[in-house]
Structure 1
Amino acid sequence: MAADGSSARLRGRGLAAALLGLHLFSVLVALEVSVGKTTLVTALNRTRVQLPCTFTTCIGFEKLTFAWYYNTTEKLYQGFIKNKASQPKEEFRDPRVELIGTTTGKENNISISMEVDFSDAGKYTCFVKNPRENKAEANATLTLKVVSVMVPVDNTLTLIILAVVGGVVGFLILIMLIKKIVLLIRRKSQEKKECLVSSSGIDNTDNGLAGSKAEQKAPPKA
């Protein structure tokens, strides 16, 4: 009975380890989709705008499908990619939409571009499905804002911060330079003093001091 209990515990631990390994493997090869560092895109009315999207996978892809949706329901584009060596093939697209990305380069880029007006403002979702990763799915969403006039970004605060930081750094450098100059002057002054002291102890001939030539007696005549 004890042996059976030990075997059961070992099997339980083995199963737990296997499940943990499977979980870690699934995390490692997880499909990821990105729409860039910012999820807000601003565009002028009646202009063409780019909507970025890239995907990554650790084990590659085969027969991958992808799509773009407007406000999660309206399909704008759908494509199919056989493998890494193949270019995306169009299966469906809105007449205004154009695929501008490629998956044969360094990045798996499935970005699109389209001409927009005020009615196109909203959320755009990039969706990817990779059968090679056990039909893993992933998506990312960005928001499009359409404006009549592009407002310049106010960088006043940033400039002030940079100026303050630059001033502090410059002040510290100035202090270091002054310190170096002061130390150099002190060292030169100390060397000069040592030189004067050394000279006064050796050359006293002009003053008739002890050790000078004036005190030396002439040798006796033979």
Structure 2
Amino acid sequence: MAVEVHWMGFDTLKMGLSQTHFNLIVTILLGVGAVQALEMSVGKIPFLEAVNGSTVMLPCTYSSCIGIENLYFNWQFNDNGTMQKVCEAMIPTDGAVPNVKMYKERFEFVGKNKNNNISILLWNITFEDGGQYTCFGRNRKEKGKNHSAIFRLIVVDELRVVDNTLTIIIASAVGGAIALLMGFMLLKNFTLFVLSKLEEKNKECLVTSSGIDNTENGLSGSKVDSKPKTPKQK
């Protein structure tokens, strides 16, 4: 279902609504049109570094909220500015396995349209295979709109060995700082615990000492004879 915008109708609608409500309606209508679009994806990492002579997969999937009808797709290779078609096919409906026509050697269609997968495999890559590959799609339900995603293949003699020395040093420094902080916190808590115990012991000593002094002075826990003693008569 395509969203058609008639500006005269929008002007009439705008006259009867506040600016905020009008903007909200426009946003919703445009959003409905956007979610219908076909999307081609080559994954979160759109490039691959591979060794000369190895076999690699060039990933691509498609998705559409409104489904597909005669979805046309192809893979193209950018050969120094000249687009060379690698393969192409038509997918009539959701879940149908396409009959893919291949135009270049050493390429194989491996997606089989399972989970909307239209990936291809490239055998025994050479340095000439390195470059930009485009996964293209066009869904008839969208009235001929074109969509594409780009994947870059980098061919090298050998994979670079990543030097993790700096990472290890940073990780060790961070780990040592965390361990030192934890040790400091433990020492602090232990010191506070010891001081609290000593303070409690001092309080007990003060209370005990005060009780003894008061008893000796006849103030607490002792009886004082208020009657004066009369001398014995001879």
Q: TM-score, structure 2 length as denominator?
A: 0.72
Unaligned stretches of 5+ residues in structure 1: 1-7
Q: CA deviation at 1:102?
A: 4.8
Determine if contact 2:218/2:224 at 8 Å carries over to the other structure. no
CA distance in 2, matches of 1:50, 1:199: 85
**Residues 61, 11 of structure 1: CA spacing in aligned structure 2 closer, same or farther, 3 A cutoff?**
closer
Q: Report the AA paired with residue 79 of structure 1.
A: A
Q: CA deviation at 1:183?
A: 2.0
Aligned residue in 1 for 2:18: none
Q: CA deviation at 1:22?
A: 4.2
CA distance in 2, matches of 1:11, 1:66: 37
Please give the residue correspondences for 1:47-66 in structure 2 after superposition, counting only pairs within 5 Å.
Answer: 47-66=54-73
- The number of residues matched between the two structures is 207
Equivalent of residue 87 in structure 1, options 89, 92, 97? 97
Helix, strand or coil: the match of 2:93? Answer: coil
Q: CA deviation at 1:192?
A: 1.6
CA distance in 2, matches of 1:57, 1:179: 60
Determine if contact 2:102/2:108 at 8 Å carries over to the other structure. no
Q: Is 1:192 matched up with 2:211?
A: no
Q: Is 1:114 matched up with 2:114?
A: no
Please give the residue correspondences for 1:178-217 in structure 2 after superposition, counting only pairs within 5 Å.
Answer: 178-202=187-211, 208=216, 210=218
Determine if contact 1:84/1:104 at 8 Å carries over to the other structure. no
Determine if contact 1:79/1:92 at 8 Å carries over to the other structure. no
Please give the residue correspondences for 1:1-222 in structure 2 after superposition, counting only pairs within 5 Å.
Answer: 12-14=11-13, 21-71=28-78, 73-105=83-115, 108-115=116-123, 116-202=125-211, 208=216, 210=218
CA distance in 2, matches of 1:40, 1:9: 47
Query: Which 4+ stretches in 1 moved above 6 angstroms?
Result: 15-19
Determine if contact 1:34/1:55 at 8 Å carries over to the other structure. yes
- Two-structure CA RMSD over aligned residues (Å): 3.2
Determine if contact 2:73/2:89 at 8 Å carries over to the other structure. yes
Unaligned stretches of 5+ residues in structure 2: 1-6, 15-21, 226-234
CA distance in 2, matches of 1:77, 1:164: 52
Q: CA deviation at 1:29?
A: 2.6
**Residues 20, 180 of structure 1: CA spacing in aligned structure 2 closer, same or farther, 3 A cutoff?**
closer
Which has the higher Rg, Structure 1 or Structure 2? 2
CA distance in 2, matches of 1:29, 1:11: 22
CA distance in 2, matches of 1:138, 1:153: 36
**Residues 104, 165 of structure 1: CA spacing in aligned structure 2 closer, same or farther, 3 A cutoff?**
same
Residues 167-208 of structure 1 deviation map (CA, whole Å, 9 limit, x = unaligned): 333333223222222222222222222222223233569x95
Q: Report the AA paired with residue 146 of structure 2.
A: E
Q: Report the AA paired with residue 149 of structure 1.
A: E
CA distance in 1, matches of 2:205, 2:26: 85
Q: TM-score, structure 1 length as denominator?
A: 0.75
Helix, strand or coil: the match of 2:55? Answer: strand
